[in-house]
Amino acid sequence: MIRLKQSRHLADASLDGLNAAYPNAGFIGLPLCLLAFGQASLAPAVIAMILTVCVLFAVAIVLIELGLQTEKKFAATLGKVVRSLISNPLLFAPFAGWLCSGAELTIPGGADTFLKLLGAAASPCALVALGFFLGEKSKGGSAKITTMLVAAKLVAQPLLTWWLAFHVFALPALWAKTAVILSALPTGTGPFMLAEFYKREAEVTSSTILFSTVISLVTVTVCLAGMS
């Protein structure tokens, strides 16, 4: 809402919002929670990761698609958005996986082995690719916007989560601590993926990922010390 009031395009404002809210729950969150709180923390961590990757990511895509439409009639705009969402691989792939899992479909042995090898290579390849993208795209961007987004991600979000988890919803201690730690994580690669996919401004997004990751070495350590 703040970025929209600053006359920011809805698609770009949606990416900014995602930069300030999208934690790196997959690469950092799961192993960190396992190390800090043990096996019992994996359940809330996995739930948070699914909500982040599926729900938060999907909402951002819907808002971006709405912002990119130029139709004046609501019905025409809605039709274009729905068609775009159905054909969008970033939404279709997880949905297809969910359908296959729910239907308990089996994969032939050869294909299963190939997909496991491919899946095992996905994380290191993604990290290497992100490094190349950051080196290419991070040319300073807007320091003011990047600072605001990093502060929102590393300070505002964990403070808000702490208040909600401990004082509003009164979650069990382990779940509340896990929620706070996950909210304190740096921005993940999802927003950059969307920025590249939709050909939007990527400098601020890549800078936010870079600086939030570096600074989180301090902020997450402080957060862990406070949760112990």
Handedness of CA 89, 92, 98, 103 (dihedral sign): negative
Could you state, in order of their start, the residue ranges of all structural domains in the chain?
Answer: 2-227
Which residues of the chain fall short of a pLDDT of 50?
none
**Which pLDDT belongs to residue 176?**
96
Residue 198 in contact with residue 68, Cβ under 8 Å?
Answer: yes
Residue 194 in contact with residue 5, Cβ under 8 Å?
Answer: no
* Neighbouring-strand partners of residue 107: none
**Which pLDDT belongs to residue 71?**
63
User: pTM of the predicted model, to two decimals?
Assistant: 0.82
140 Cβ neighbours under 8 A, 6+ residues apart: 203, 207
